[in-house]
Amino acid sequence: MQRKTGVTVYLTGFGKGFLQGFCLSYLFYRGVFIALLLGAGYGCYQIFAEKRRFRRQQEQEITLQFREGLLGISSALGAGYSIENAVREAEKDLALLYGQESLLAQEFSWMDKQMELNQPLETLFFEVAKRWNTEDMLHFAQVFQTAKRTGGDLIAITHSTAEKISEKIEVRREIQTLIAGKQMESKIMNLIPLAMIVYFWLCSPGFLDCLYTSSGRPVMTVLLLLYLAAYYWSRKISDICV
């Protein structure tokens, strides 16, 4: 996934939100000033939505990389490496698979530097897990800490965790495949009311003029709120987290 800076995320969110808000407001109010005002307001809201969306993408990406990292650690442990050296070997594998700038490769590189300062590995796994706050990483950090102190089977633990992450990823992909058609239908249904307004503008000029007067705008405001509620609900019911 392409790396983004905080400024890029802000600009992307505001730009997308402003364009969507401006077009939608202009369709319902046919006024440039109010469209600019509402577009700017929706652009500001979309900044936070874009941050959440980008954070979720990063969490999915690092979960996928974490699975590969655990498999690399498990293989290195099976070859006789210590757990610390196994992490270093996994870092090399991640750099080859995803690049040195990938999320988990950077985290493993940071852990390598901290291990050189005699920081315990279980503490480092906990810090990385807390930084990303993903369920799989937190669970592994807890189990790893217990196994490290009690002499548990680290090979079995890392391999088992990687398998569970693989199962969750597969379930998520199956769900996305099943609901992809419904999501497309939802997008089309969301566009139909807007397309109808444009159709009347082009084919029957003046037919909707009564709705753009001072007495008609309250009606358009109610319709806009109903449209936004329907849009939000359609997005919400298809947003399934695994």
pLDDT tens by residue, 148-201: 878 778 888 888 888 888 888 888 888 888 888 888 888 888 899 999 999 999
Residue 190 domain-assigned (yes or no): no
**Which residue, 77, 81, 241, 235, is CA-closest to 172?**
241
What are 99's two structure tokens? 């690049």
Which range marks the domain in which residue 114 is found? 59-170
What ranges in the chain are assigned the alpha helix state H?
A: 6-29, 32-78, 83-98, 103-116, 121-132, 135-150, 154-203, 217-237
Asked if residue 95 is part of any domain, the answer here is yes
Q: Is residue 196 part of a domain?
A: no
What's the rounded mean pLDDT across residues 128-152? 85
Residue 81 lies in a domain: yes
Domain contains 35: no
**Which tokens is 230 given?**
């329907």
pLDDT higher than 70, residue 102: yes
- 147 in any annotated domain: yes
Yes or no: say if 27 and 198 are a contact pair by the CB < 8 Å rule: yes
Q: How many domains does the chain have?
A: 1
pLDDT bracket for residue 60 (50, 70, 90): confident
Residue 33: how many CB atoms within 10 A of its CB?
Answer: 9
Average model confidence (pLDDT) for the chain?
87
Counting beta carbons within 10 angstroms of the beta carbon of residue 230, is it exposed (0 to 12), middle (13 to 18) or buried (19 or more)? middle
Residue 231 covered by a domain: no
131 or 180, which is more confident?
Answer: 131
Residue 83 falls inside a structural domain: yes
Average pLDDT over residues 97-115: 91
